[in-house]
Chains A and B, each alone.
Chain A
Amino acid sequence: NAGVMQNPRHLVRRRGQEARLRCSPMKGHSHVYWYRQLPEEGLKFMVYLQKENIIDESGMPKERFSAEFPKEGPSILRIQQVVRGDSAAYFCASSDGQGNFGNTIYFGEGSWLTVV
Chain B
Amino acid sequence: DAKTTQPTSMDCAEGRAANLPCNHSTISGNEYVYWYRQIHSQGPQYIIHGLKNNETNEMASLIITEDRKSSTLILPHATLRDTAVYYCIVRVAGGTSYGKLTFGQGTILTVHP
Give the interface of A toward B (CB within 8 A).
Answer: 4, 31, 33, 35, 42-45, 48, 55-56, 58-59, 91, 93, 95, 100-102, 104-110
Contacts and interface: CB of A to CB of B under 8 A. Distances in A.
Nearest to A3: B43
6 contacts: A42-B103, A44-B103, A45-B100, A56-B99, A105-B99, A107-B44
B113 interface: no
Contacts of B46: 104-107
A45 to B, nearest CB: 5
B43 A110 contact: yes
A55 B94 CA distance: 12
Contacts, number: 65
Nearest to A44: B103
A53 B66 CA distance: 39
Nearest to A112: B41
Closest 5 interchain pairs by CB? Answer: A101-B93, A107-B43, A48-B99, A43-B103, A42-B103
